[in-house]
Amino acid sequence: MAARPYNFAPGPAVLPDVVLERAAAEMLDWGGTGMSVIEMSHRGTHFEGIHQAALDRFKRLLNLPTSHSILFMQGGATAQNAILPLNLLGQNPKCDYVHTGHWSAKSIQEAKAYGDVHVAASAEAARGATINGTSADWPSFGYVPPESDWQVRADAAYLHICGNETIGGVEYPEFPEMAGLGAPNVPLVVDMSSHILSRRMDFSQIDLAYGGAQKNIGPSGLTFVILNHEVLQARFPAPMQHCPTVFDYRRVLDQNSLLNTPSTFAIYMAGLVFEWLEDQGGVEQMERENTRKAALLYSTLDASDFYKTRVAKAARSRMNVPFYLPDDRLYPLFLEQSKAAGLLNLKGHKAVGGLRASLYNAMPFEGVEALVSFLRTFEREHA
Ligand code: PMP
């Protein structure tokens, strides 16, 4: 097969060649069964093995404490925006959210149908003030609000943040500690859709994380939920009255994600990606590579007067890098020429315009080198 172009799409996104080749080789006959995984019973021993191996690898990669379990659900992160309040607001309707951009806004909007939503902090207002000793000039939704500004209700059922805003390119460099926010008993919930497995994360500080699989894990449709089952059982014994059974975390947990037919093929693909990640050296190695890739791209953009970025340096995403050209008329040409150079899907989201390069785990360093080389040439020709 000829070398494939580099795919910078935000999700569904690039997967490692070796994973796709393995899936292709096993497509008609998995493990001598004469069946594709797609054709297997989700309750048979073959799929049981595939499912359990994927869960075990995922847990190892995340260095997950024994207090936590993983659920495989469906409906994407968008469904979780409703499933989460349906599950955690059974007794206490108060839920707090931090608003850092497009995806946290969606979560906030959905939760309003179920609970008493309080926005504990927002990055909506542009800031030019000195914050935490450094002078900052941050545009609207171009930063993570400093924790000193957060007002979390100490009796909220949970606090929700979006760990990485895929569209705005804003990532929490680290997650908040609830005690430091004056809310030691409030569980922390993180939308991890676009940076799961991209860096080390301490799950002892996170009570629930969720996301769609289509960025760092595998096919869309599969949704992961990582939750502290001890907290769930002790503090959230029942969901809201009208929570559908298939969305009830307790029921899905009890049935080991086999309450109904799961996304079997997507789970198999996720398992292959987890195996690849372990072969690469796990999350620590991904973090090193992702840091190196993002540093190369940001340093190229920073060194140029032609390209512009908008996000405060401390909150720059290592996964999604939005950037802008000096003249709107150049975008069609940029996209046409980058595509011809084998660099695909660099168009920014319509909500913010511009360009965006997504650098998920499966994007090799060589892809970023090719992008940077294209950026320099384009700048030379059009500056
Ligand atoms: N949250 C974040 C951070 C996302 O990036 C996305 C999708 N790009 C979503 C939520 C929505 O996910 P889904 O399409 O899986 O419902």
Across 73-87, average pLDDT: 98
Is residue 143 packed enough to be buried (19+ CB in 10 Å), middle (13-18) or exposed (0-12)? Answer: buried
Residue 132's pLDDT band (boundaries 50, 70, 90)?
low
Residue 76: CB within 6 Å of ligand 1? yes
**What is the spatial distance between Cα 134 and Cα 128, in angstroms, rounded to a whole number?**
11
CA of 210 to the centre of ligand 1 (A): 10
pLDDT of residue 3: 84
Where in the sequence numbering do the catalytic residues fall? 103, 191, 215
**What is the spatial distance between Cα 346 and Cα 132, in angstroms, rounded to a whole number?**
34
What residues contact residue 350 under an 8 Å CB cut-off, 6+ apart? none
Residue having the nearest C-alpha atom to atom 15 of ligand 1: 76
CA of 212 to the centre of ligand 1 (A): 6
Across 278-297, average pLDDT: 98
Residue 313's pLDDT band (boundaries 50, 70, 90)?
very high
Across 173-193, average pLDDT: 97
Residue 239: CB within 6 Å of ligand 1? no
Is residue 204's pLDDT more than 80?
yes
pLDDT of residue 133: 64
CA of 75 to the centre of ligand 1 (A): 10
pLDDT of residue 135: 59
Is residue 26's pLDDT more than 70?
yes
Residue 343: CB within 6 Å of ligand 1? no
Residue 103: CB within 6 Å of ligand 1? yes
CA atoms within 13 Å, Cβ hemisphere of 167: 13
- Low-confidence winner among 65-69, 98-102, 123-127 (lowest mean pLDDT): 123-127
pLDDT digits (tens, 9 = 90+) for 153-171: 999 999 999 999 999 999 9
Residue 327's pLDDT band (boundaries 50, 70, 90)?
very high
Residue 101: CB within 6 Å of ligand 1? no
Is residue 79's pLDDT more than 90?
yes
Across 56-84, average pLDDT: 98
Across 174-203, average pLDDT: 98
Across 8-31, average pLDDT: 98
pLDDT digits (tens, 9 = 90+) for 210-258: 999 999 999 999 999 999 999 999 999 999 999 999 999 999 999 999 9
**What is the spatial distance between Cα 93 and Cα 81, in angstroms, rounded to a whole number?**
15
pLDDT digits (tens, 9 = 90+) for 99-122: 999 999 999 999 999 999 999 999
What percentage of residues in the chain have a pLDDT greater than 90? 96
What percentage of residues in the chain have a pLDDT greater than 70? 97
Residue 80: CB within 6 Å of ligand 1? no
Q: Which of 99, 103, 107, 360 to mutate to test the pocket of ligand 1 (most atoms within 8 A of CB)?
A: 103
> Cα angle vertex 59, ends 54, 45, to 5°?
30
Phi first, then psi: give them for residue 261, nearest 5 degrees: -70, 115
Q: Which of 72, 193, 216, 345 to mutate to test the pocket of ligand 1 (most atoms within 8 A of CB)?
A: 193
Residue 77: CB within 6 Å of ligand 1? yes
